């Protein structure tokens, strides 16, 4: 299968590196200078400096050339660039099935990726989402990873999952697009909370409690939006949440750690060098929770730190002093 990966950041490059072992793959990036450097050096020095690019991996900054002979487009840009990327795809004279790997809610609209896609892509064009607990560096290294590919067209999800499946990249199929996308989005907001707790010196007991109660928040919001509970307890929900809240490669967890150390958010994001999707997600989750009447105290506490300048110590104090109640109410 000829595959085009759009987005030459860490995630797009990692997927392109892995998939090129079994498929003809073209990796596209908007920055022609970056792409030319990658073509010459065979490294993505900015995002995956220690991982060589396979010689057979094709690189281009020409979107038409990237997609011209493709049988599947895999979008690996941040959620903020999804809409414009889709618009550029549909403007081309070819129609190719599309899957996306971005996580979060679109800023300003609070829409999930599939809702953005539904406004742009032709109604009958097969499409879906690839998500799950997956750090780009580990995928690029070929370390075992399990993910989920969801589409409202269940047959399409199964076909693509089988095509991309490998012993070191196990891909399962689902038709619960909402559940997969809600899990992938909310876990980033909760990872910031986990980082704050870690940065304040709280122990593993607190982290386990935060992850479990965070999963309850994620599930409440997901169910309200039409997701299935089993999806949120699976790879794209609980699995991704556990990884992002505990893994040293988690950018969102790192944001929380630095916030707890009283560093300013603009400075944190500048020094990070990568996109931390959770920062924008927190704002959209807060809006949706209020709109839908969903109780999400952990996410609310993170929102107050990021957008209301509440000190992390005070936000945690307020959270810990909430009245107790039955666990599942």
Q: Write out pLDDT tens, residues 153-165.
A: 999 999 999 999 9
Clarify whether residues 24 and 132 are in a common domain: yes
Q: What is the pLDDT of residues 83-129, one digit of tens each?
A: 999 999 999 988 999 999 999 999 999 999 999 999 999 999 999 99
Clarify whether residues 201 and 234 are in a common domain: yes
- Residues 153 and 130 sit within 8 Å (Cβ to Cβ): no
With respect to residue 327, please indicate whether it lies within any of the assigned structural domains. no
| Domain limit, last residue, from 146, 175, 204 | 175
The C-alpha atoms of residue 317 and residue 168 are separated, in whole angstroms, by 43
Predicted TM-score (pTM) of the model is 0.95
With respect to residue 326, please indicate whether it lies within any of the assigned structural domains. no
Clarify whether residues 165 and 193 are in a common domain: no
- Per-residue confidence band for 325, with pLDDT thresholds at 50, 70 and 90: confident
- Residues 256 and 199 sit within 8 Å (Cβ to Cβ): yes
Clarify whether residues 16 and 143 are in a common domain: yes
The C-alpha atoms of residue 197 and residue 207 are separated, in whole angstroms, by 7
With respect to residue 195, please indicate whether it lies within any of the assigned structural domains. yes
- Residues 75 and 90 sit within 8 Å (Cβ to Cβ): no
With respect to residue 209, please indicate whether it lies within any of the assigned structural domains. yes
With respect to residue 64, please indicate whether it lies within any of the assigned structural domains. yes
Q: What is the pLDDT of residues 117-172, one digit of tens each?
A: 999 999 999 999 999 999 999 999 999 999 999 999 999 999 999 999 999 999 99
Q: C-alpha distances in angstroms, 16 versus 19, 49, 135, 184?
A: 5, 15, 14, 21
Q: C-alpha distances in angstroms, 205 versus 4, 144, 201, 202, 209?
A: 43, 28, 11, 8, 6
Clarify whether residues 167 and 193 are in a common domain: no
| Domain limit, last residue, from 124, 154, 175 | 175
Q: What is the pLDDT of residues 233-248, one digit of tens each?
A: 999 999 999 999 999 9
Residue located via tokens 């370390």: 143
User: What's residue 269's pLDDT?
Assistant: 87
| Domain limit, last residue, from 175, 199, 234 | 175
Q: C-alpha distances in angstroms, 277 versus 63, 188, 203, 250?
A: 25, 7, 25, 11
Say if strands 25-28 and 3-6 run parallel, antiparallel, or are unpaired.
parallel
Clarify whether residues 148 and 255 are in a common domain: no
Asked if pLDDT for residue 277 goes beyond 90, the answer is: no
Q: Which domain holds residue 300?
A: 185-320
Clarify whether residues 117 and 228 are in a common domain: no
Asked if pLDDT for residue 329 goes beyond 70, the answer is: no
Clarify whether residues 197 and 271 are in a common domain: yes
With respect to residue 180, please indicate whether it lies within any of the assigned structural domains. no
Give me the active site residues, please: 187
CATH number for the domain spanning 287: value is 1.10.1040.10
Q: What is the pLDDT of residues 54-65, one digit of tens each?
A: 999 999 999 999
- Per-residue confidence band for 276, with pLDDT thresholds at 50, 70 and 90: confident
Clarify whether residues 224 and 159 are in a common domain: no
Asked if pLDDT for residue 45 goes beyond 70, the answer is: yes
The C-alpha atoms of residue 114 and residue 184 are separated, in whole angstroms, by 13
With respect to residue 37, please indicate whether it lies within any of the assigned structural domains. yes
Asked if pLDDT for residue 275 goes beyond 80, the answer is: no
Clarify whether residues 75 and 189 are in a common domain: no
- For 198-211, what is the mean pLDDT? 96
* Residues annotated in a binding site: 7-12, 47, 103, 132, 134, 136, 187, 240, 250-252, 275, 277
Clarify whether residues 219 and 313 are in a common domain: yes
With respect to residue 328, please indicate whether it lies within any of the assigned structural domains. no
Clarify whether residues 43 and 154 are in a common domain: yes
Report the domain count for the chain. Answer: 2
């Amino acid at each position: 299968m000829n595959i085009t990966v759009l987005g030459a950041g860490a995630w797009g490059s990692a997927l392109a590196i892995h998939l090129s072992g079994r498929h003809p793959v073209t990796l596209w990036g908007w920055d022609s200078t970056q792409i030319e450097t990658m073509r010459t050096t065979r490294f993505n020095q900015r995002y995956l400096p220690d991982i060589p690019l396979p010689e057979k991996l094709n690189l281009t900054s020409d979107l038409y050339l990237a997609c011209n002979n493709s049988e599947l487009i895999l979008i690996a840009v941040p959620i903020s660039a999804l809409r414009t990327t889709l618009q550029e795809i549909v403007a081309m004279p070819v129609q190719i099935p599309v899957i996306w790997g971005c996580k979060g809610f679109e800023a300003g609209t609070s829409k999930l990726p599939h809702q953005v896609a539904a406004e742009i892509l032709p109604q009958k064009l097969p499409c879906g989402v690839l998500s799950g607990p997956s750090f780009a560096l580990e995928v690029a290294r070929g370390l075992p990873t399990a993910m989920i590919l969801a589409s409202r067209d269940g047959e399409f999800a199964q076909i693509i999952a089988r095509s991309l499946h490998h012993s070191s990249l196990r891909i399962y199929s689902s038709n619960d697009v909402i559940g997969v996308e809600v899990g992938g989005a909310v876990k980033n907001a909760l990872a910031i909370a986990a980082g704050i707790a870690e940065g304040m010196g709280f122990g593993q007991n607190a982290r386990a409690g935060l992850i479990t109660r965070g999963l309850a928040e994620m599930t409440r919001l997901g169910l309200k939006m039409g997701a299935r509970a089993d999806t949120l307890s699976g790879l794209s929900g609980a699995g991704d949440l556990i990884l992002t809240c505990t893994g040293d490669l988690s950018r969102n967890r790192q944001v929380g750690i630095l916030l707890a150390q009283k560093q300013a958010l603009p400075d944190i994001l500048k020094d990070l060098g990568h996109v931390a999707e959770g920062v924008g997600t927190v704002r959209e989750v807060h809006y949706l929770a209020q709109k839908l009447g969903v109780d999400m105290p952990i996410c609310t506490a993170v929102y107050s730190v990021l957008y209301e300048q509440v000190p992390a110590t005070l936000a945690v104090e307020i959270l810990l002093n909430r009245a107790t109640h039955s666990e599942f109410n």
